[in-house]
Homo-oligomer: A and B are copies of this chain.
């Protein structure tokens, strides 16, 4: 089979379309943001992407229906007043090998280039390794002018972050995109890296919606963020209770031993 199979579901003409990529990754920030945008815009399915570089896996719906793992392109035609249409790339997995990452990204970029895409926004999480109460949105871009533009939208360009660069689809869509003559920005929402993080996704999407002049209703995403907060709080409390009565496995036992004497 072809390494990457792209099945077009509908032929469309798009006006200067911008590609938004959000695949599973750190805190699932990119995927949460892209899926939410797709749902809010009621974007329509355009193409399904299958690949031997995804796991050999099918998902089963609650009704018992099977679906092969994939990535998916949805499109949104803005109102006549809006200058450009939007493509959203989401999916179940990133490619599971380095070669797979390159192959899938290259094929999707090629496909999107044919649809007229010249600009890409990739959405991702940036793991801080600590709880982040008010996530900032960090950025990286393909040229200096985009960096300046992004700063006006509150995107933070940090001298040291991300120090080791970006690994995976969010970096590769920009890095390989340049070989297709595309420019682009990676928007990274700060996140702990320990949980899925709708609040970080919201921060990213708020910046993106301003950049693209799209109105997004954040009610449902905020509800999801509160739900995650609530669960995290419960876990926190449960941990507190469970350690109250029982001494931890630290120095305490030795103190107990001390009492024996």
Contact = CB atoms under 8 A, between A and B. Distances in A.
Query: Chain A's interface: helix, strand, loop or mixed, by majority?
Result: mixed
Interface in A133-153: 139-144, 147
A167 B62 contact: no
Contact of A64 (B1, B58, B140): B140
A165 interface: yes
A53 B166 contact: no
Given A57-B166, A57-B167, 16 more contacts: A50-B176, A50-B179, A52-B103, A56-B169, A56-B172, A57-B165, A58-B165, A60-B162, A63-B147, A65-B144, A66-B140, A66-B166, A68-B171, A69-B175, A96-B98, A97-B98
Interface of A: 1, 5, 7, 50-60, 62-69, 95-99, 101-103, 105-107, 139-144, 147, 157, 159-160, 162, 165-169, 171-172, 174-176, 178-179, 186
23 contacts: A5-B179, A50-B176, A52-B98, A52-B106, A53-B98, A56-B167, A56-B169, A56-B171, A56-B172, A58-B166, A58-B171, A58-B174, A60-B140, A60-B165, A63-B144, A63-B157, A64-B140, A64-B147, A65-B143, A68-B175, A68-B178, A68-B179, A96-B98
